[in-house]
Structure 1
Amino acid sequence: VLLAVAAAAAREIVAGRNWRNLKVLLPLAILACANGAFHIEAHLQGTSDISRRLGMAAAIVLISLIGGRIIPSFTRNWLVRENPGRLPAPSDRFDTASIAISAIALGAWTFVPDNSISGMLMAVAAICQAWRLSRWAGERTLRDPLVLILHLAYAFVPLGFAFVSASIFFPAAVPVAAGLHTLGTGAVGAMTLAVMTRATLGHTGRELKAGRGTSFIFVAVLLAGALRILAAFVSSGAVIDMAGAAWMAAFAGFLLIHGAALTTPKAR
């Protein structure tokens, strides 16, 4: 399935001559390879640690690439219209360097997760990604949940890098699971829901506005991420259950609120 997605993306890129999006194909291909490697590694080794980290790394690189394009763009559009003032910084060499450093750090973590060099690279990536996010003027979007959620979801990326780094240098204080769940439940989960919601509204002709129901599912997915991170520290089954309940509420809520838009004619 992932290879089919990559092939479909490649076809659209070539057909539209949108060559700058070719870079998206590499993490998609790596994600597909990680999926296959998962089964091979589990069969041969009885574990799937490397392939799971590789898959996570590919997903975070995708978020860095695509999020780094759409978040400043959507933020700029909203601010120009609704809250003139400081705008997101345009993409420059710092953004390119941040993505490159993050990819290198994730690669090192994938194959040598306990190495101090991996920890240092993750720490540098955390700083770069945090500074990158701060340049996008997210604090000026508090009045629009549909834009704000993109910034909050992306915030899990530098936080995840920081937790991974801390778990390498201070394993007694910061469990490995903290970084994994910050990147997975937090960054991947929240960003997926945020983009799904915005794309559903935009591509079905609905108004780009978050109602109470949509705001609720955004809060739910952020709560799920926060609780799952907390559970890594407190080892509480109850906290894990609450995180799972919040996660289900977020995605089931999306289906209930926006499912009809995906199965009915486009609004005019």
Structure 2
Amino acid sequence: MKILYSGHPFWFTAFRPFFLLASLQFALFLILWVFNYTQFLRLEVLHSGLVWHMHEMIFGFARAVIIGFLFTAAQNWTGKKLLNGRMLQLFVILWISGRTAFFIPGFLIYLALAADTVLNFTAVYLLVKFLFTPGQKHNRIIALLFAYFSAVQLIVQAALLNYLVPEKIIHLMHMGLLVVVLYVMIIAGRVVPFFTGVVLPEAGTRRVDLLEKNIMWLSLPIPILELSEVGAFAGGWIAAGYLILLAGLHAIRWFFWHPWKTLSKPILFILHISYLWVPVSLVAYALFMLKIATPGIVWHSFGLGVIAMFILGMMTRVSLGHTGRPIVASKNVMLAYFLLGSAVLIRVSVSFWSNVNFGYLVSGVLASIAFLIFFIEYVPVLVSARPDGKQI
């Protein structure tokens, strides 16, 4: 594959700027949210602090990583140049502009939200253009999911501006989050057993054909459960049963990857642990449908356990692999894994603490530090050229 770009290495591929920006945004915005929630400071933002927090974690942080990863992977899949140089710089400018929407007054809000929309639809156009081609049939779901994700964000923006169902905005956010969970299911299903088999062939990782052919099609309806009429159908029992079934299937999938055999490779083990949170989160969601579990447990199991942990694991691995460096987690990165894992456990159990606000604070600080460690550790990696002179 020959992909030529003569500018600075930082603009060679999408993962370089977007992984750094996403990690910095996560660290900064999460700590701001936690300090605001625990009343250490007061943020004046559009709509509410909770909506800002959810929007930026889903449509800011997670979306940046998705764009960075997908456009890097799609170049490998197609052997064609998709996003670098000036176009990549434009994507970054649009993404940064969108992050200001909750803080700026009047008409400028429309411009900031429009920047996010332009970014989304340009990304969808490029993904469809390159993935709806001969030989890419198995990758088309990637483009379609991003179109779905972008449509949800557009509806959220309309709700933010009070044009459409503002009372449903939290459910719309949850739909967006669950689309990201679908991405984790798809990408993890492809790369986790592959990475494990390459690094530890003795682990005997297995992919069960019947399960792999059906598990994603069975999982695709998850986001529509956030449509209240669907989730509440038959008192929530049908939705809960569906989620428990899915949890069992994803647990079986995870078991056949033999995760316990990757303990000696932290950069692999983190991916397996993040996927364990998929069945755990689905069970929590089922209990929520039955009015047993609290919303905080459900959405932070998905958001921190599944999404943030998988993202941290993938960013550390992809950044090393695609810059031609040894794929080994440093001591600092292993510390980041530990801090994030601790943050997840604290956040999902915080409702049982005597001092709930202290639990929120500790969890938020630990998760923020984890991504700040990534940012500091990987700046030299992502802004410099590959040692072997290649671009990807």
Larger displacement relative to structure 2 (214-223 or 234-243): 234-243
The answer to whether 1:253 aligns with 2:376 is no
Distance in 1, matches of 2:381 and 2:170, equals 39
2:252 counterpart (116, 123, 131): 131
Q: Do 1:35 and 1:55's aligned partners in 2 also have CA atoms closer than 8 Å? A: yes
The answer to whether 1:108 aligns with 2:248 is no
What CA RMSD, in Å, does the superposition of the two structures yield over aligned residues?
1.9
Q: Deviations over 1:32-86 (max 9, x none)?
A: 1111111223424433123112101211111111110000100111112xxx2x4
Distance in 1, matches of 2:274 and 2:248, equals 17
Look up the equivalent residue of 1:175 and give its one-letter code. Answer: T
Equivalent residue, structure 2, for 1:219: 338
The answer to whether 1:95 aligns with 2:215 is no
Distance in 2, matches of 1:184 and 1:113, equals 19
Secondary structure at the residue paired with 1:208? coil
Report how far residue 228 of structure 1 moved: 1.7
Distance in 1, matches of 2:189 and 2:308, equals 17
Equivalent residue, structure 2, for 1:188: 307
Report how far residue 233 of structure 1 moved: 4.6
Equivalent residue, structure 2, for 1:204: 323
TM-score normalised by length of structure 2: 0.63
Equivalent residue, structure 1, for 2:284: 163
The answer to whether 1:41 aligns with 2:159 is yes
The answer to whether 1:31 aligns with 2:149 is yes
Q: Do 1:120 and 1:165's aligned partners in 2 also have CA atoms closer than 8 Å? A: yes
| Structure index of larger Rg | 2
Larger displacement relative to structure 2 (5-14 or 158-167): 5-14
Report how far residue 264 of structure 1 moved: 1.0
Equivalent residue, structure 1, for 2:73: none
Report how far residue 232 of structure 1 moved: 4.4
The answer to whether 1:57 aligns with 2:178 is yes
Which structure has more RCO (C-alpha within 8 Å, separation ≥ 6)?
2
The answer to whether 1:231 aligns with 2:358 is no
Distance 1:267 1:15, change over 3 A: farther
Q: Do 1:119 and 1:164's aligned partners in 2 also have CA atoms closer than 8 Å? A: yes
TM-score normalised by length of structure 1: 0.90
The number of equivalent residue pairs is 262
Look up the equivalent residue of 1:64 and give its one-letter code. Answer: M
Distance in 2, matches of 1:181 and 1:59, equals 13
Q: Deviations over 1:124-167 (max 9, x none)?
A: 11111111111111110100001101001111111110001012
Give ranges in structure 1 of 5+ residues lacking alignment.
none
Give ranges in structure 2 of 5+ residues lacking alignment.
1-118
The answer to whether 1:148 aligns with 2:274 is no
1:21 counterpart (139, 147, 156): 139
Report how far residue 15 of structure 1 moved: 6.8
Distance in 2, matches of 1:222 and 1:16, equals 41
Query: Identity of aligned pairs, percent?
Result: 19
Distance in 2, matches of 1:20 and 1:206, equals 29
Report how far residue 246 of structure 1 moved: 1.1
Look up the equivalent residue of 1:267 and give its one-letter code. Answer: P
Q: Do 2:340 and 2:370's aligned partners in 1 also have CA atoms closer than 8 Å? A: yes
Distance 1:221 1:136, change over 3 A: same
Report how far residue 97 of structure 1 moved: 2.0
Distance in 1, matches of 2:320 and 2:214, equals 33
Q: Do 2:152 and 2:176's aligned partners in 1 also have CA atoms closer than 8 Å? A: yes
Report how far residue 11 of structure 1 moved: 4.1
Report how far residue 249 of structure 1 moved: 0.7
Distance 1:219 1:32, change over 3 A: same
Distance in 1, matches of 2:212 and 2:222, equals 15
Distance in 2, matches of 1:251 and 1:16, equals 38
Report how far residue 10 of structure 1 moved: 3.3
Distance 1:41 1:232, change over 3 A: farther
Distance 1:129 1:257, change over 3 A: same
Look up the equivalent residue of 2:269 and give its one-letter code. Answer: L
Look up the equivalent residue of 1:184 and give its one-letter code. Answer: G
Distance 1:210 1:113, change over 3 A: same
Report how far residue 245 of structure 1 moved: 0.5
Distance in 1, matches of 2:146 and 2:261, equals 32
Equivalent residue, structure 1, for 2:126: 8
Larger displacement relative to structure 2 (192-201 or 92-101): 92-101
